[in-house]
Structure 1
Amino acid sequence: MATERIKITKTFDNKDVHHAPVTVILKGPTENEDNLTIFVEAPLFNDPNDPGGISVVEVFLLNDQDNYLEVILSPHGQHYVLIQGGYRNKLKVEMPIEYTTTKEETRWSGKAIIPGSYLPPKVTKWNVYAMHGTGETRHFESLHGDINGKHEKPDFHDLSLFGPIDMGRILPNNWSQEYYSSDEWRDYL
């Protein structure tokens, strides 16, 4: 099983993060499954459990045709998974996944099992974001940030900011012909 492990150490505008980093691990399938497992380990902030201030980690997986999967995970068990066909073009929303979380005093962890068919065929790029805080004190962190100052405010859907990933190594079937006929993507490719 191949894995990819990252730590988010920068804000969206490329400044240092001043707390323990968010860690995200992508883990490929076992012999009997075709799932991508996403593990999150992150600081637990004292954020309200409401849409305006909830802490989240977002994982985006993109192919060269600008099709992408967006996975949003929170420490409180909420999750939101959607397929996008180009910049902010929602094709499918509220896709079901298995998701569990564990909270300790200062940290939380999450495990999301994503069906392989949810990923667009031949993923080549990705980005990971973490958000916490509320209002003016909301913090936006990024694996691949806006190092050139292109945006005044974070735009997580700016696909030009995404960095490379070898998804063929992590989830080999993602690079097979079968992905072009998956139920999730057949009508959009």
Structure 2
Amino acid sequence: MEFAIKHTWDGLPVSHEPVRIVLKPDNSGLIMEVSAPFFNDPPAPLGEPGKPFNRLWDYEVVEAFFLRDRTEQYLEVELCPHGQHLLLLLSSKRKVWKDELPLDFEVTRMNTKWEGKAHLPWNYFPPSTNKFNAFAIHGSGEERKYEALHPVPPQEGQQPDFHRLEYFKYLNLKGLMGEDWKQPESDLWKSLTQ
């Protein structure tokens, strides 16, 4: 399952090679592969590569959101070309209840491009995950760019907001995993409802 981020958050075409995200099946979760231009702007976060880094969205990052639309519960995955990552579990829109979860994440960086590979365990996904959106952010100050797989329709005076869940699109995990597949239960998400 492959996606290309070809638009800004408000629907304009991007001016560079699009960020590509591939989702692949794995027995214990999903493999998320990223192939993206490397802007090196802003400079690398001060956190250690391979570790969670809070407020990673303030840096160069590719993000994927996996949503259960009925309850507005979602997993937010943020991957940085410098090797840091941030995983958030949200119990409703913008309401983080778990953050800085561990992640198996590898990065290969070249002069103008980077590739990342992350293993996302099923335990991180909300039950009945059925919608998806992805984003890319880079640049500093006035040159900050916000890009979206599924952009929001332009409206007067609106600011970039990646938590507009109503614009996420259907994600067919059965099509990826096999028609007989059933999403494994998550101890993490079960603990939220207890």
The reply to whether TM is greater than 0.5 is: yes
Deviation of 1:103 after TM superposition, in Å, equals 0.5
Deviation of 1:148 after TM superposition, in Å, equals 4.2
Residue 19 of structure 2 is aligned to residue 22 of structure 1: yes
- Tell whether the 8 Å contact from 2:122 to 2:184 is kept in structure 1 after alignment: no
Aligned residues: percent identity? 39
Q: Please give the TM-score of this superposition, normalised by the length of structure 2.
A: 0.86
- Tell whether the 8 Å contact from 1:10 to 1:17 is kept in structure 2 after alignment: yes
The answer for the alignment partner of 1:185 in structure 2 is: 189
Deviation of 1:149 after TM superposition, in Å, equals 2.3
Residue identity in the other structure for 1:11: T
Q: Given the superposition, is the C-alpha separation of residues 53 and 70 from structure 1 closer, same or farther in structure 2, using an over 3 Å criterion?
A: closer
| Partner deviation per Cα, 1:107-143 (whole Å, 9 max, x = no partner) | 0000000111111111111100000001111000000
When the two chains are superposed, the root-mean-square deviation of aligned CA atoms in Å is 2.1
Q: Distance in 2 between matches of 1:57 and 1:177?
A: 25
Unaligned runs of 5+ in 2: 46-55
Unaligned runs of 5+ in 1: none
The answer for the alignment partner of 1:45 in structure 2 is: 39
Q: Given the superposition, is the C-alpha separation of residues 188 and 128 from structure 1 closer, same or farther in structure 2, using an over 3 Å criterion?
A: same
Provide the secondary structure at the position in 2 that maps to 1:136.
Answer: helix
- Tell whether the 8 Å contact from 1:53 to 1:135 is kept in structure 2 after alignment: no
Residue 2 of structure 2 is aligned to residue 10 of structure 1: no
**Runs of 4+ more than 2 Å apart:** 50-54, 148-151, 168-173, 175-178
| Partner deviation per Cα, 1:39-88 (whole Å, 9 max, x = no partner) | 00000003111358521000000012111000000000000001101101
Provide the secondary structure at the position in 2 that maps to 1:129.
Answer: strand
The answer for the alignment partner of 2:52 in structure 1 is: none
Residue 103 of structure 2 is aligned to residue 97 of structure 1: yes
1:1-189 map, 5 Å: 4-29=1-26, 33-47=27-41, 48-50=43-45, 54-64=59-69, 65-149=71-155, 152-171=158-177, 176=182, 178-179=184-185, 182-189=186-193
